[in-house]
Structure 1
Amino acid sequence: MSDLPRLTEPAAHPPAVEVERLREEMIEKLRELGAVRTAEVEGVLRKVPRHVFAPEAPLEKAYAAEYALVTKKDEDGVDISSVSAARVQAMMLEQARIRPGDRVLEIGSGGQNAAYIAELVGADGQVTTADIDPDITGRAERLLARAGYERVKVVLADGEGGVPEHAPYDRIVVTVGAWDVPPAWVEQLAEGGRIVVPLRMRGLTRSVTFDRVGDHLVSRDYELCGFVPMQGVGENRMRLALLHEAAGEEVTLKLDDGQQLDAHLLRKALHQPRTEVWTGVTIGGYEPNDNLDLWLATALDDFTLLSAKPGARTRGIVASVSPIGVATLAVGDSFAYRTVRPVDEERTLFEFGVYGHGPHAKDVAERLAEEIRTWDQEHRSDRARIEAHPAGTPDELLPAGRVIDKRHTRVTVSWP
């Protein structure tokens, strides 16, 4: 593993008036983004000094709504630990609805989020934060002490097993990307308790608010998010199928949940002339489309994600680039992916379309376009219901919808 960046000791305390100004600007921005919705969360954002937990960052960055501080990379330069952006932290705190007196477990340590939780639970509550990496727990412990939160219990442990010695928990907040929900998390959660977890389903990660109902979990909410992947026993990274490998122009398909495809045939398909299908479905320039992608992942057996470097779009190899991947249908020797085009000069309205490649590009593109229209006509205003049942649960006891089998659970995604 790469060394953790050395913690810096500030030469002097930053001016209080500057900290207050930046903090208020951050909170106002978080309100605009819808990340802060309650007085309780807004209150803790004012109490916890963010700059203490990001001594390596300029003050403006520490109080930026969308800035995530990477605290460790692996030997390949991949981010493996970070302090999440204020927007993501606020969003998950709102999802968790932590109350005074709650016992809370955080899986994935940074210190800052644990301090927020400590303020929410108050003197009668308990906060445990756990991480598999001693560098990270050591950093969290030092910064929590520096900020005056010594009462937070910092534990070195593989998050897969939770922290049984301080259970049961009213809330479990997972701040690393998880592919599954280990039994320990459900077992250590009090009846009626809540887990907030960035759960990956068919390549898509959503911060899911799960409430415990007996032996399984039922979603109450979910939000688009991105996190560094979980390490240890629960690690399960996505696989990549390379379709184009020129430096700066790489194009890959992201494979999840045991998905198999013929990369050789799809590499050939990428360099064949593309087929275009336009759906007639429009979306506003600032309107999110993450619920569309979740519908496509639910409806299509061969759903995957197309990932490409910006150079691939510049060269015209692909038309769409996204850091999290573009919704794609890959069938045999052909594939098609979602794209958009502006329909007004002001570029405030866009039409969804599909670009297909390969011998059967037209059929695959039409199939993807059909599901985009179905989403628009039947599910555009809907929210999916996500459940996590123990592995081995018979099909007849699961709700109708997409079943995603994982090591410990059978995750279901269903729509009204």
Structure 2
Amino acid sequence: MDPAVLREDMVDSLEHEAKAALDDERVALAMRDVPREAFVPEGHAAYADRATEVDGTTVLAPSTAARLLDALDAREGDSVLVVGSGVGYTAAVLAEIAGPENVHAVDIDRNMVYTARSNLERAGFGGVLVDRRDGSRGLPEYAPFDRVLVEAAAVRPPRALLEQLAEDGRLAMPVGAGGQTLSAFDPDGEPIERVCPVAFRPLLIEGQQPGRLERNRTEREDREFAERDARRRAGWEQEWIDWDAGR
């Protein structure tokens, strides 16, 4: 079946009162346009309303993604940060709404960064910036952001992400220690809206493993590797190194 028809059916079902997962017309229009099959390469399964495992990460079910995006309330021209890019689908929907040049995404898993970049390029959203970062620290060099979407759970919104919000900005994420609730927050960390119960994986911080054999090096390990390599050099090659930097 034509993927465009499948997208229409998917969004119609999300808007239907039986699911009531999608109210925002901007999100609905964007989800009708973004080719989900570029991010979930399983034929018709790309449009089934269920979570899917792709390359070791969970791709959100369309209804879950829709509720996240609804809670975020992104507008055209908004500067947006996505924490936990995954395969890049929600970043693509936001790029359709706000413009690819306005969307930035980070993921702690290097492999997922490469996957998201490739998928976004294939789907026509190559202008989205995707970088390997500790998501809890955000992307300060591109702040402030009008909207921050966190696709992982924490007890409360990370302070660094709140500080990177614009004055009238909005952050959406699942919060809670036991049960989680999809919520939206203002820059002071005060809840604006509590949407629904959810169950997300926890937000990983630097040095934690995202379930792969190869793990990401921490900043300390990166520095130690650099120092070890520098000690093999001699003379002028060592003059640029500041051994005390970052300690």
Q: Which residue of 2 aligns with 1:25?
A: 9
> 2:91 is matched with which residue: 108, 114, 117?
114
Change beyond 3 A, Cα 1:20–1:72: closer
8 Å Cα contact 2:157-2:189 kept in structure 1:
no
> 2:31 is matched with which residue: 27, 30, 45?
45
Count, aligned residues: 205
8 Å Cα contact 1:126-1:152 kept in structure 2:
yes
Once the two structures are superposed, the pairs formed by residues 8-407 of structure 1 within 5 Å of their partners are 18-32=2-16, 33-55=19-41, 57=42, 59-65=43-49, 67-73=50-56, 81-109=57-85, 110-122=87-99, 126-201=102-177, 203-212=178-187, 215-233=188-206
CA deviation string 1:250-296 (max 9, x = no partner): xxxxxxxxxxxxxxxxxxxxxxxxxxxxxxxxxxxxxxxxxxxxxxx
Q: Secondary structure at the match of 1:216?
A: coil
Q: Which residue of 2 aligns with 1:3?
A: none
Listed as ranges, the gaps of 5+ residues in structure 1 are: 1-16, 74-80, 236-416
- 1: distance between equivalents of 2:207 and 2:97? 29
8 Å Cα contact 1:160-1:234 kept in structure 2:
no
Listed as ranges, the gaps of 5+ residues in structure 2 are: 209-247
Q: Which amino acid aligns with 1:91?
A: R
Deviation at 1:72, TM superposition (A): 4.4
8 Å Cα contact 2:183-2:191 kept in structure 1:
no
- 2: distance between equivalents of 1:28 and 1:185? 33
TM-score by length of 1: 0.47
Deviation at 1:153, TM superposition (A): 0.4
Structure 1 or 2: more strand by fraction: 1
CA deviation string 1:306-349 (max 9, x = no partner): xxxxxxxxxxxxxxxxxxxxxxxxxxxxxxxxxxxxxxxxxxxx
- 2: distance between equivalents of 1:170 and 1:234? 28
Q: Greater relative contact order (Cα 8 A, min sep 6): structure 1 or 2?
A: 2
8 Å Cα contact 1:164-1:188 kept in structure 2:
yes
> Among the aligned pairs, what percent are the same residue?
36
- 1: distance between equivalents of 2:61 and 2:183? 18
Change beyond 3 A, Cα 1:168–1:108: same
- 2: distance between equivalents of 1:182 and 1:216? 9
- 1: distance between equivalents of 2:134 and 2:107? 6
8 Å Cα contact 1:211-1:220 kept in structure 2:
no
CA deviation string 1:146-190 (max 9, x = no partner): 111111000100011111111000000001122332211111011
Change beyond 3 A, Cα 1:198–1:229: same
TM-score by length of 2: 0.78
Structure 1 or 2: more helix by fraction: 2
8 Å Cα contact 1:104-1:171 kept in structure 2:
yes
8 Å Cα contact 2:172-2:182 kept in structure 1:
yes
8 Å Cα contact 2:105-2:129 kept in structure 1:
yes
Q: Which amino acid aligns with 2:36?
A: R
- 2: distance between equivalents of 1:82 and 1:233? 20
Q: How large is the Cα RMSD of the aligned pairs? A: 1.8
CA deviation string 1:5-24 (max 9, x = no partner): xxxxxxxxxxxx52123222
Structure 1 segments of 4+ aligned residues over 6 angstroms from their partners = none
